[in-house]
A = this chain, B = another copy of it.
């Protein structure tokens, strides 16, 4: 037998931290398990293994594995090498600014790209519409176009305004 058995159960400090992150991820429309996993990794003084997550949070290994993967793709956590251990251990990214931009990039970027073509097409359709309505359509489509541009600036906006 290698490595120590992970603690079981959660301290009050741990479970309340987790509760906070669960609320945050749910607010953003992400699954609760992501909040649990990140929350525990965030508060623990030492890197956490998947086994520990499964035991202490009482989630399935499937959930843990998928949750960890998603957190890795957001770069919300990273793998850390622990000498003499076979398991993977995880540490949190604790700079929320980075976290937020990674998240927005991943979620927003693809939509923005799709959206651009769509708006161009709208323009064409508006020009082909009856004169009485054409001006109205141009107007609304322009506003949409501006919204789109703004969306593209959200990440930089957050980085600039929010200096923490």
Q: Tell me the A residues contacting B by CB distance below 8 Å.
A: 11-13, 16-17, 19-20, 23-24, 27-29, 42-43, 45, 94, 96, 107-108, 111, 114-115, 118-119, 121-122, 125-126, 129, 133, 136-137, 140, 143-144, 146-147, 149-150, 153-154, 157-158, 160-162, 164
Complex contacts, A108 vs chain B, CB 8 Å: 27
Complex contacts, A107 vs chain B, CB 8 Å: 27
* Cα(A2)–Cα(B18), bound, Å: 58
Q: Nearest Cβ distance between residue A5 and chain B, in whole angstroms? A: 19
A interface, over-half SS: helix
Q: Nearest Cβ distance between residue A145 and chain B, in whole angstroms? A: 10
Complex contacts, A150 vs chain B, CB 8 Å: 96, 162, 164
Can you list 13 pairs linking A and B with CB atoms under 8 Å apart?
Answer: A13-B126, A16-B121, A16-B125, A23-B114, A23-B115, A43-B137, A43-B140, A45-B136, A45-B137, A153-B162, A154-B158, A157-B158, A157-B162
